[in-house]
């Protein structure tokens, strides 16, 4: 019979509000580390690509998509590849997307 209790935590943002969680190790894993060492963080290479999948239905969403695309490419140091559904895009957006890619 398990005596473990559960605690529900509702996440509404990514800010740490200081919730402490009690953990119980499974048999055989008493000496296993719970947290990975920060020295093990893998540095990103120049070959890393951020893939962004987008679907814009309508001129308003296409305008917001343009703003997002320009903002992401301006603020990141990694390569970004945007995946768009061509059959949902207006001819005007297609022409501007070609210009933005250059």
3-state secondary structure the chain: CCCCCCCCCCCCCCCCCCCCCCCCCCCCCCCCCCCCCHHHCCCCCCCCEEEEEECCCCHHHHHHHHHHHHHHHHHCCCEEEEEECHHHCCHHHHHHHHHHHC
Tell how far CA 11 is from the center of its chain.
Answer: 16
Most confident of 16-25, 79-88, 93-102: 79-88
On whether residue 12 sits in a domain, the answer given is no
On whether residue 26 sits in a domain, the answer given is no
Residues paired with 52 in a beta bridge:
82
On whether residue 31 sits in a domain, the answer given is no
The string of pLDDT tens digits covering residues 6-43 is 767 677 777 777 777 777 788 888 888 877 666 556 66
Boundaries of domain holding 66: 46-101
Identify the pLDDT of residue 37.
64
On whether residue 68 sits in a domain, the answer given is yes
Total count of domains within the chain: 1
């Amino acid at each position: 019979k398990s005596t473990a209790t559960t605690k529900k935590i509702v996440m509404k943002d990514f800010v740490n509000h200081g919730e402490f969680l009690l953990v119980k190790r499974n048999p055989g894993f008493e000496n296993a580390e719970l947290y990975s060492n920060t020295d093990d963080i893998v540095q990103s290479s120049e070959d890393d690509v951020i893939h962004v999948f987008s679907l814009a239905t309508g001129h308003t969403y296409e305008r917001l998509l343009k703003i997002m695309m320009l903002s992401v490419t301006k603020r990141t140091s990694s390569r970004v590849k945007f995946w768009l559904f061509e059959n949902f895009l207006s001819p005007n957006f297609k022409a501007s997307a070609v210009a933005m890619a250059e």
